Structure 1
Amino acid sequence: MSISEFLAPESVSMGIAAHDKAELMAAMLKLVAGRPQITDMSVVERDVQAREQAMSTGVGKGLALPHAKTQGVSETVAALAVLAKPVPFDAVDGLPVQIVFLVLGIPEAKSQHVKILSRVSRLMNQEAVRRRMLAAKNDDELFAALEDAENHLLDE
């Protein structure tokens, strides 16, 4: 299982502009809005907001990992973005975020959801991976950086 299998070209974005956490969350949700796995966008929005209100998903080192288990999707779907400028996000380390993964899963797939979140965390804990993503010049380079990092991780 790889993170990239849950992404689509239209849900990977380099250089998103957002001024605050609310704008950023709206931009991330917009990246998945047209995906066929989205069955009810209002339910997705509600569940992502509820999860974020329960506890910030700013996990540190400039990474946010908003996620939710929701009935608004038919199967797991994800989005990846690098922001034009870091945005305050109430992260655990107090730093603003610049790399964001959104992960939406069905409630019945708890194990898969946890594995995906764990895999993202493991990849993003590597400074070289974060640097390569931040240096990407376009969406394709960003996606390639993720795929290369995952392939390297699988080789370990």
Structure 2
Amino acid sequence: MKVSFSKYVTKDSIVVLNGKSKLEVLDELINRAADLSHLDRDLIFRLTWKRENMMTTGVGSGLGLPHIRVSNIPYPVILIGICTNPVEDYQSQDDQPVRVIVFIVATDEDPEAYLQLLGSISRKMRDPKMVDKIVENIAKPDEVLKLIDDSEE
């Protein structure tokens, strides 16, 4: 069974990010992820920065894809952060600012499903046109959800 990330994205998953730095925007996403997952905020923070210090999650084309795995979470929490300010210090692989961040908190009990989830996001979101369309609809979460649903394979 293929895992598609869009089934885990709801209106609550769409977050307008007002931070200007990588730390600020990730902190906004970490707070929302803690609220939605009912996990300890400090745990999410530590795991996120541990992952980020291993290798940047700025994958290019304006997209950041931070992802962590935790125990005892029944289903993935996926957030789509739309930056009001391009994040210049994200250290993306293509040295371009990040404008959309897809943040994943998933269970570490099913590594195969986790890899499928990452693949699903990468296939749908690595297109710069998709990033542009999401940014254009920053104030319209319903449109962002529709864009993601319409990009189903």
- Aligning the two structures, in what range does the TM-score lie when normalised by the shorter sequence? 0.7 to 0.9
Deviations 1:60-117 (A, max 9, x none): 0100000011236343111002111210201111111001100111111111111111
Equivalent residue number for residue 4 of structure 1? 6
Poorly superposed stretches of 4+, deviation over 6 Å = none
Q: Supply the distance in 2 between the matched residues of 1:85 and 1:79 (Cα, whole angstroms).
A: 18
Equivalent residue number for residue 121 of structure 1? 122
Give the 3-state SS of the residue equivalent to 1:82 in structure 2.
strand
Shift of 1:22: 0.3
Unaligned runs of 5+ in 1: none
Unaligned runs of 5+ in 2: none
What TM-score results when the alignment is normalised by the length of structure 1?
0.86
Closer, same or farther in 2 for the Cα pair 1:108/1:72, shift >3 Å? closer
State percent identity of aligned pairs: 23
> Which amino acid is the alignment partner of residue 57 of structure 2?
T
Q: Tell me, yes or no, if structure 1 residue 144 matches structure 2 residue 146.
A: yes
Q: Supply the RMSD in Å over aligned alpha carbons.
A: 1.7
Alignment of 1:7-156 (within 5 A): 7-13=9-15, 15-35=16-36, 37-71=37-71, 73-88=73-88, 89-136=90-137, 137-150=139-152, 154=153
Q: How many residues align?
A: 149
> Which amino acid is the alignment partner of residue 140 of structure 1?
D
Is residue 44–residue 73 contact of structure 1 (8 Å, CA) maintained in 2?
no
Q: Supply the distance in 2 between the matched residues of 1:128 and 1:61 (Cα, whole angstroms).
A: 9
